[in-house]
Amino acid sequence: MDKTNIIAVSTIDTDVAQYGVVYLLDERKIESNWANAGIGNYDIYHVAFSPNYSNDRQLIAVATTATAHLLCR
């Protein structure tokens, strides 16, 4: 199995009408840029890879909107 080194970074935007993003970077691809993971319109407080990420490509995130806290997958 090929080892994959992917970095995930989450952000929070302090503007009420704006949201954070989860960015992914594949270290195997030197020329690659940070890619938006497309989690949705949330501020992301924490992001983690699923235990089987190499097979299921799932991220798990603790996120919030102005009115709710969520656990996204």
1 domain-assigned: no
20 domain-assigned: yes
Question: How far from the centroid of its chain's Cα atoms is residue 45's Cα?
Answer: 10
Q: Is residue 73 pLDDT above 70, yes or no?
A: no
* Cβ 24 vs Cβ 35: under 8 Å: yes
62 domain-assigned: yes
The predicted-structure confidence for 12-71, as pLDDT tens digits, reads as follows 887 777 788 889 998 877 677 888 888 888 888 889 998 888 888 888 888 887 776 666
Residues 6+ apart with CB under 8 A from 23: 8, 9, 10, 11, 34, 35, 36, 37
Number of domains in the chain: 1
* Domain assignment of residue 15, given as a range: 6-72
User: How high is the pLDDT of residue 28?
Assistant: 78
64 domain-assigned: yes
User: How high is the pLDDT of residue 45?
Assistant: 86
